[in-house]
Amino acid sequence: MISLSDQIAAHVAAGASVDRDAVRATFAQLREALSSGQVRAAEPDASSPVGWRVNTWVKQGILLGFRFGDTADVSMDHGRWPFYDKDTLPLKRPGLAAGVRIVPGGSAVRDGAYVAPGVICMPPMYINIGAYVGEQSLVDSHALVGSCAQVGARVHVSAGAQIGGVIEPVGALPVIIEDDALIGGNTGVYEGAIVKARAVIAAGTVLTGSTPVYDLVRGDIIRPTADRPLVVPEGAVVVPGARAVSAGKGLEWRLSLATPVIVKYRDSRTDTHTELEAWIR
């Protein structure tokens, strides 16, 4: 039997001559494998310098699903809520046995996302295809978990937080949030940034693939490189900061740029604050 990855590779190689029905059938298999957690867009890899590797073929398969889907009427409530989307991308219906709480109020999870037992989805939030959300995590109101983003276990994605999706380029790591991290309200993590286990990203902090992070504790500047994404260290507590602009008119105009700053590393007091959410479960 041809593996799912080999099927997708063959479809990509076929280009314009590909069998459309065969692509749609393969994508349905991929969506099922992603939904069950058997396949992931990225996964832990101890041999990688950052601890993760991307599964390029998965992202290629998701792109095929978009390309070969037909826009269909997917309106709800007998047509009173009009929606139109690709027919290859239905919403996920976990069922009671999945052990997932999706609280009423306008949330959506696309099929092809994995949502583990014990996850709580507060309305309205959105989890896109290819995403992975580990057990006991909380995705709060107005939060986004983007395409292929990987969120670990017992993570709190606070209200208004944006965990960006990275489908293209297919070889790029998506945004990764490891176990026991806290992503504060109205934060943004984009462009394949990695937040290591137990880190705390304070409210309003923005991290991107090109953002330097200033570590006041260790006296270091953490910068992404051409072959390494931004990696926030394990247990780091990152807050919004600013640094003066010293070039051009910046000095004269007294301008400053927003800069994430590590002010401490997680301790027992930080743990007490982050454990308060257990009362809502």
Mean pLDDT of all residues in 257-276: 79
Alpha-carbon span 115 to 154, nearest angstrom: 12
Tell me if 177 is assigned to some domain.
yes
**Residue positions counted in the chain:** 281
Q: What pLDDT is recorded for position 165? A: 86
How many other CB atoms are found less than 10 A from the CB of residue 102?
21
CATH of residue 177:
2.160.10.10
The verdict on residue 217 lying in a domain is: no
Q: Which domain holds residue 88?
A: 84-211+268-280
Query: How confident is the model at residue 77, as a pLDDT?
Result: 86
pLDDT tier for residue 273 given thresholds of 50, 70 and 90? low
Asked, for residue 258, whether it belongs to a domain, the answer is no
The reply to whether 141 falls in a domain is: yes
Sequence-distant (6+) residues with CB within 8 A of 123 are: 103, 104, 105, 106, 107, 141
Question: Considering the domain boundaries, does residue 262 fall inside one?
Answer: no
- At 206 the pLDDT is 97
Given pLDDT bands bounded at 50, 70 and 90, which one contains residue 78? Answer: confident
Global pTM value: 0.93
Does a structural domain hold residue 59?
Answer: no
Number of domains in the chain: 1
- Could you report the per-residue pLDDT of 17-40, keeping only the tens digit for each? 999 999 999 999 999 999 999 999
Pair type for strands 162-163 and 108-109: unpaired
In a domain, 273, yes or no: yes
Whole-number CA gyration radius for the chain: 20
Q: Is the residue at 182 inside a domain?
A: yes
